[in-house]
Amino acid sequence: MLHEPTNVIETDNAAPKKAKLGVILFIVYTLIYAGFVMIGLTKPELMGMELMAGQNIAIIYGFGLIVLAIVMGFIYNYFCTKMENKMNKK
Amino acid sequence: MIYEVSNLAIIIFVFIVGLVLGLSFYFARKTKSAASYYAAGGKIHWAVNGIAFAGDYLSAASFLGICGMIAYSGYDGFLYSIGYLAGWVVALFLVAEPLRKLGKYTFTDALDARFDSRAIKLTAAISTLIVSIFYLIPQMVGAGDLVVPLLGLPHWMGVVIVGSIVIFIVATAGMTSTTYVQFIKGALLVIFSTILTIYILNNGLTLTPNANYHKFDKIAAVVANDTVVSISDSTYVIKTTKVVDKLVFVKLEKNGSNCWYHLNKKDDVANLEEMLDITVLANGDKLYNGAPKTANKFYQVGHLSKIIVDGKEVDKTGPVGPFQFIKTIENSEIVRFSKKGFTDGTDKVTVYYQKVTSGKDVMKPGLLYKLSAAAGATFWDKLNFLSLMLALFLGTSALPHILIRYYTVPSQRAARKSTIVAIAAIGFFYVLTLYMGLGSMINGVLDVESSNMSGPLLAKSIGVGLFSIISAIAFATVLGTVSGLIVASSGAIAHDFIDKYLKVEMTDHGKVKAGKIAAFCVGIFAIVLGILFKGMNVSFLVGLAFAVAASANLPAILFLLFWKKTTAKGIASSIIVGIISSIGIILFSPTMWEKYGLIPKDAPIPLDNPGIISIPLAVLTLVIVSLMTQKDNSTKDFSK
């Protein structure tokens, strides 16, 4: 099976920068998620409004939150890997 | 309803369970040390771990519960999908890597890494146990629901079967076998849910779900002051009229058998519409639509009453694309079946009456959670919605059985990558839940007695082969998640409490043995709870587990990682306050009031989901206690 050989946690010089990036992306996503919840709380009738291609705001925003989480995950991994490769060179 | 058992279903079920047990035997031989028992030796590949994350996380709540909730309440069920997935963002961006760096076997190890505090060891172990048990209940309930149609066994037997198999899996090989069970099941669940969704889209929308779909009676009635004076069908005799929350229900008798009808008045035209009813007689016997269950008069329901395509009414659409499917439902009308209960003399009656619902209302929040003033939403209704969305968002990264999976990979980078694989797999699956839920809603497959069975019953309408595979996977789903939960619980008891807190001297072999005994005890406890909580929607129950986790664990994790002034006493007291406040609110909530047999409206706390109160309370406690105990930190060396 796909086992990796060792289990050693090495020093990670990129950790502070990665943590900062993580916090920024977390705040961005949280604000967008909060926007969805606030629409539901304050203007629920907006959720049923057609936005594009016959789809209402609830569907586009809901699907959007799922897709955005995946896309942001890939972006985060790309930059973290880059930082690790650059800052952890031996 | 009565389920017919098929031999194919039994064969596929036995094959999947055999595969799972075979894996456990295989890995049992390799599990000798505590590291391999609790954390699979930290050697799982990130891709395998990512799918195993999905297998662990996509529990009975996701497949059975969310599909069922969407099938009965439309978009409101999909809110769970959105919230559950959003929670992974917190796990990826804030928790995954630092936690991997801090921990060894359990979530308590990570919390305690800086402090070596007995208070943290004890409170975090208790919290792990409580959250895992809250999460275990719905899994066991879901397992019981599954075996009824799959194997024709009673609900309690399903709970006992799952409990026994899982105890065996965990007690033999711990986290390694659990990981591969979750990996296989996670992959199969996503693949077969995709097949089911493709079938739904290919089938399109139709007014007649299937040839056997029951055509519900409609009898013209003459009404005076909410009382039915006469009806057009003289073969029926009017027996009783009941008014419940402005709804009028009429009992009719035909050939010595009674059944209930709903009076529907529209534009001065009155009709009695056939319903589904369950009557519990004084002697405890149950009648389904006036007859014993074996008479098969209790039908599967859920259909479209009007389909509009491009402004024109049609009988069916033919194959549709994923967006066209949603758009067409939005423009159409769906007949849902709403529940009401009342007494008729000494009989207890539950009716499920037809409710024509606009597709526009189905495709936006509001059927389950009242949000608009027009729907009569109160302050507490809105607070409930906010509380649920908050708990779902913050709960994922605080679930101990999810957190321990970070210790099964070799590095922080692997922890991050496996989280991303998990988000992609879980996100894709959650998109599919909307189609599976809506497909169940309109294809005449719903069993009103069990919302949890909507997804598998939809598969059954396609063919018994697909039903058998989907049900067996759903069963494996329960096995995978329950295994993870029991590993987490046994770690809390044997590793955190006995080994670390009580400091009982044990050899490595002794630690593994203690873990296995703990797994056995938790498994037995889970079986009992699964039988007691029969009949509740599993996704709702998991929502509560998220609220307890988000209240008890998340403030502790985040403040430990991001606030240097956090102290051990601050963490321990925040966990205690989080547990007590969240469980306290749940115990006094309307849902639990109903469970106690009381009137939900009389519940002392009008909130079903505690997160909005208990999470800020736990945060406040942590900050205040930490600031008051700063002296403790000044004596410690945190340079490591």
**Which DSSP helix (H) or strand (E) runs through B613?**
helix B611-628
CA angle B550, B431, B135 (to 5 degrees): 30
Question: Percent of chain B, pLDDT > 70?
Answer: 94
Task: Give the Cα separation of B359 and B375 in Å (integer).
Answer: 16
- pLDDT at res. B38: 64
Is A88 touching B (CB cutoff 8 A)?
no
**CATH match of B42-205+381-634 with 3.30.420.40:** no
Residue contact B48–A1, C-beta within 8 A:
yes
Q: How confident is the model at residue A4 (pLDDT cuts 50, 70, 90)?
A: very low
Which residue of chain A comes nearest to B558, CA vs CA?
Answer: A23
Mean pLDDT of B51-59: 84
Chain A CB contacts of B81 under 8 Å are 62, 66
pLDDT digits (tens, 9 = 90+) for B397-453: 888 878 877 777 777 888 889 889 999 999 999 999 999 999 999 999 999 887 878
Q: Which of B428, B452, B617, B575 is nearest to B128 (CA)?
A: B575
Q: How confident is the model at residue B611 (pLDDT cuts 50, 70, 90)?
A: very high
- What are the boundaries of each domain within chain A? 18-84
Is A78 touching B (CB cutoff 8 A)?
no
pLDDT digits (tens, 9 = 90+) for B478-491: 777 787 788 888 88
Chain B CB contacts of A41 under 8 Å are 371, 382, 385-386
Q: Are B571 and B623 in contact (CB under 8 A)?
A: no
If you average pLDDT over every residue of chain B, what do you get? 85
Q: Which of B83, B177, B167 is nearest to B427 (CA)?
A: B83
User: Which residues have C-beta within 8 Å of that of residue B571, sequence separation ≥ 6?
Assistant: B111, B115, B117, B120, B123, B124, B556, B559, B560, B622
Chain B CB contacts of A22 under 8 Å are 92-94, 97
More confident: B14 or A23: A23
Minimal C-alpha gap between B587 and chain A (Å): 26
Is A35 touching B (CB cutoff 8 A)?
no
In this complex, which of A4, A55, A70 lies closest to B323 when CB atoms are compared?
A55
- pLDDT at res. B76: 93
Residues B191-217, buried b or exposed e (16+ Cβ, 10 A)?
Answer: ebbeebbebbbebbbbbebeeebeeee
Interface A:B, Cβ pairs < 8 A: 155
Write out B307-375 in H/E/C secondary structure. EEECCEEECECCCCCHHHHHHHHHHCEEEEEEEEEEEECCEEEEEEEEEEEEHHHHCCCCCCCCCCHHH
Chain A CB contacts of B386 under 8 Å are 37, 41
Which residue of chain A comes nearest to B561, CA vs CA?
Answer: A19
Task: Give the Cα separation of B258 and B235 in Å (integer).
Answer: 12
Residue contact A58–B94, C-beta within 8 A:
no
Q: Is B233 left (phi over 0), alpha (psi -120 to 50) or beta?
A: beta
ipTM rounded to 2 decimals: 0.89
Is A8 touching B (CB cutoff 8 A)?
yes
Task: Give the Cα separation of B507 and B513 in Å (integer).
Answer: 10
Mean pLDDT of A81-90: 83
How many CB atoms neighbour CB B324 within 10 A? Answer: 17
pLDDT digits (tens, 9 = 90+) for B519-546: 888 888 888 888 888 777 676 777 778 8
**Which DSSP helix (H) or strand (E) runs through B244?**
strand B237-244
Give counts: helices (H), strands (E), chain A: 2, 2
CA distances (Å), origin A75, targets A20, B92, B110, B243: 14, 12, 27, 58
Best-predicted range by mean pLDDT (B128-137, B495-504, B562-571): B562-571
More confident: B289 or A28: A28
Which residue of chain B comes nearest to A54, CA vs CA?
Answer: B327
Is A65 touching B (CB cutoff 8 A)?
yes
Minimal C-alpha gap between B611 and chain A (Å): 15
Is A38 touching B (CB cutoff 8 A)?
no
Half-sphere exposure of B323 (CA within 13 A, CB side): 10
Chain A CB contacts of B48 under 8 Å are 1-2
Task: Give the Cα separation of B401 and B136 in Å (integer).
Answer: 11
Which residue of chain A comes nearest to B322, CA vs CA?
Answer: A55
Q: Are B482 and B248 in contact (CB under 8 A)?
A: no
Half-sphere exposure of A64 (CA within 13 A, CB side): 14
- pLDDT at res. B45: 82
Minimal C-alpha gap between A43 and chain B (Å): 8
**Which DSSP helix (H) or strand (E) runs through B75?**
helix B75-90
Residues B99-114, buried b or exposed e (16+ Cβ, 10 A)?
Answer: bbbbbbbbbbbbbbbb
Chain A CB contacts of B419 under 8 Å are 73
